[in-house]
Amino acid sequence: MLTLIAAIANNNIIGNNGIIPWSIPEEMALFKQHTMGHSVIMGRKTFESIGHVLPGREMLVLSHSSLPLFKGELEGVQFAQPTPPSLPLKRGGSVTFCSSIQDALEKTKKEEAFVIGGASVYAQMMPFADEMHISHLKEAYEGDSLFPEIDIKLWRIFEQQEFHDFIHTKYTRI
């Protein structure tokens, strides 16, 4: 099963200059709860913006280059040419680099995986998704990255949960 998971401002913004333009701990805790123990698929820029390995998850990073331009440290792991396909890391996480959407889908076809960004990856993965977990924020934020339009002819609301700063909506494909 493939699930898109995102927090979206009420003006459809998901990011600004490579960072999330809000800090909502309750929403981040929900993200962690849903993704813990699963694979998470992201683009290289999202991987770099996170700045660390997400413990307890296998991170699949889409990258056209063989060596990511990661600016932080991955628990002391140094990248070498060619980049190994999977790097086991401390704290129960790993990073696997995928050369294409199809490569990432193949690596996760027998398990539940979550797509966590960015905008281009969401747009490319939406046709393959079975579900979406979207935290619709109650406020607008400035930004340059937008979540793709949710076509209500293809998706139905399965359940919703109201929080102080957002409404978490689970969508299923019709």
> 3-state SS string over 11-56?
CCEEEECCECCCCCHHHHHHHHHHHCCCEEEEEHHHHHHHCCCCCC
Domain boundaries, the chain: 2-7+23-66+83-173
Q: Decide which of 2.30.30.110, 3.40.190.10, 3.40.430.10, 3.40.1360.10 is the CATH code for 2-7+23-66+83-173.
A: 3.40.430.10
Per-residue pLDDT tens digits for 59-117: 999 987 655 444 444 544 434 333 444 444 444 568 888 989 999 999 999 899 999 99
Q: Residues with Cβ < 8 Å from 120, sequence gap 6 or more?
A: 43
Tell whether omega for the bond before 148 is within 30 degrees of 0, i.e. cis.
no
CA dihedral (94, 145, 3, 96) in degrees, to 10, reads -20
pTM above 0.85, yes or no: yes
pLDDT value, residue 76 = 42
Weakest mean pLDDT among 49-53, 72-76, 134-138: 72-76
